[in-house]
């Protein structure tokens, strides 16, 4: 259950739900904003503990007099933007030259697992709509292959039993856990639930994403591929590095 939800699964008032003092996350978030965000720009701002620092940096730039607006990927990020007086825009209301977001896993081909914060549907919408998608992470998020982190799958609540049955029928012995606290499900900003599915090593993210989305009731998966334009890795020293550009033949946008 999100820190911005009460024990009934409904949204409750909160402040900086993803606030933290991790110097590596701060370095990555700050670097992305300083490198790509310009005065007068509309920027997509993600959800999570590393994206938190990108939002914080944008807020500081606005406080210093710059005119930047944002499209947040969740109600949690929207609340933080409002707290920092960052003007908000809706998807495609304005051109979005860049979006900055974190990830739960980054593979060598820059495919991603996302959705640990529960905002995968809106995060993917912003990733698809922006011109440049910048991913900010720390070293532990870099993996040889996706699958160590359970795959978030956003589902329509009514279809939950069917989705669970079809995952078992099509993929075999996959541990599927409905996200939540006790009997109360986690409820996304779209009014849906999330299944966290333990597929193990994922060697073909596009194929798995396509197969899962063919199941009636699946809204989106946390598999992002052919979307990232840069991956910035923050380090504990407060420095950052950019991953080597990976070969890519096509994009999903």
Task: State the catalytic residues.
Answer: 123
91, exposed or middle or buried, with CB in 10 Å at 0-12, 13-18, 19+? middle
Contact residues for 101 (Cβ-Cβ < 8 A; gap 6+):
44, 45, 46, 47, 48, 51, 73, 114, 123, 126, 127, 133, 134, 135, 136
Three-class secondary structure assignment of 65-134: CCCCEEEECCHHHHHHHHHCCCCECCCCCCCCCEEEECCCEECCCCCEECCCCCCHHHHHHHHHHCCCEE
Q: Residue 245 is encoded by which pair of tokens?
A: 């550009």
């Amino acid at each position: 259950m999100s820190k911005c939800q009460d024990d009934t699964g409904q949204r409750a008032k909160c402040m900086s739900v993803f606030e933290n003092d991790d110097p590596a996350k701060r370095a990555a978030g700050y670097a992305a904003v300083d490198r790509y965000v310009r005065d007068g720009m509309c920027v997509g701002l993600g959800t999570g503990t590393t994206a938190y620092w990108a939002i914080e940096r944008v807020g500081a730039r606005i406080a210093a007099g710059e005119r930047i607006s944002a499209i947040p990927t969740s109600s949690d990020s929207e609340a933080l933007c409002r707290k920092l007086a960052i003007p908000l825009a809706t998807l495609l209301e304005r051109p979005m030259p860049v979006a900055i977001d974190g990830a739960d896993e980054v593979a060598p081909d820059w495919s991603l697992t996302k959705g640990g914060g529960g905002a995968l549907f809106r995060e993917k919408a912003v990733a698809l709509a922006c011109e440049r998608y910048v991913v900010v992470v720390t070293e532990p998020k870099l993996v040889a292959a996706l699958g160590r982190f359970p795959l978030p799958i956003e589902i329509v609540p009514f279809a939950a039993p069917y989705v669970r049955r079809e995952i078992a029928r099509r993929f075999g012995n996959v541990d599927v856990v409905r996200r939540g606290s006790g009997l109360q499900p986690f409820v996304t900003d779209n009014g849906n639930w999330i299944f966290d599915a333990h597929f193990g090593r994922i060697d073909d993210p596009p194929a798995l994403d396509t197969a899962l989305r063919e199941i009636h009731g699946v809204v989106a998966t946390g598999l992002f591929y052919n979307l990232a334009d840069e991956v910035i890795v923050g380090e504990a020293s407060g420095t950052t590095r950019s991953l080597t550009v990976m070969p890519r033949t096509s994009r999903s946008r």
